[in-house]
Amino acid sequence: MEGDNIKEHRWACHALLLLYAALRKADEVGRVWKVCESNPKVDECLAAIESWGKLNKVEETKAGKNLVKRMDDSGFRISPFTWDALVKLYVEAGEVEKADSILQKANHQNQMMPIFSSYMAIMDQYAKRGDIHNSEKMLHRMWQAEWVYRERMKADNIFPNKAVAGQLAQVDVFQRMVVSDLLD
User: How far is residue 9 from each of residues 25, 45, 48, 84, 162, measured CA to CA in Å?
Assistant: 20, 17, 17, 27, 43
| Residue from 87, 94, 82, 81 nearest 55 by CA | 94
Name 145's Cβ contacts closer than 8 Å, sequence gap at least 6: 107, 113, 114, 119
Residue 165 identity: A
What whole-number distance in Å separates Cα of residue 74 and Cα of residue 119? 27
Residue at 38 is within a domain: yes
Residue at 175 is within a domain: no
Provide the number of structural domains found in the chain: 1
Q: Using the predicted structure, report yes or no on whether residue 175 has a pLDDT greater than 60.
A: no
Residue at 9 is within a domain: yes
Q: Could you tell me if 98 and 90 are in contact, meaning their C-beta atoms sit under 8 angstroms apart? A: yes
pTM for this prediction: 0.64
pLDDT at position 110, please?
59
Residue at 47 is within a domain: yes
Domain that residue 59 falls in: 1-76
Question: Could you report the per-residue pLDDT of 113-164, keeping only the tens digit for each?
Answer: 778 888 889 999 999 999 999 988 888 887 776 665 665 666 677 777 788 7
What whole-number distance in Å separates Cα of residue 16 and Cα of residue 29? 8
The torsion angles phi and psi of 165, rounded to 5 degrees, stand at: -60, -40
Question: Could you report the per-residue pLDDT of 1-51, keeping only the tens digit for each?
Answer: 666 778 888 888 999 999 999 999 999 999 998 998 888 887 888 888 888
Q: Is the torsion defined by CA of 15, 18, 22, 27 positive or negative?
A: positive
Residue at 41 is within a domain: yes
What whole-number distance in Å separates Cα of residue 183 and Cα of residue 151? 29
Residue at 10 is within a domain: yes
| Residue from 124, 149, 123 nearest 137 by CA | 123
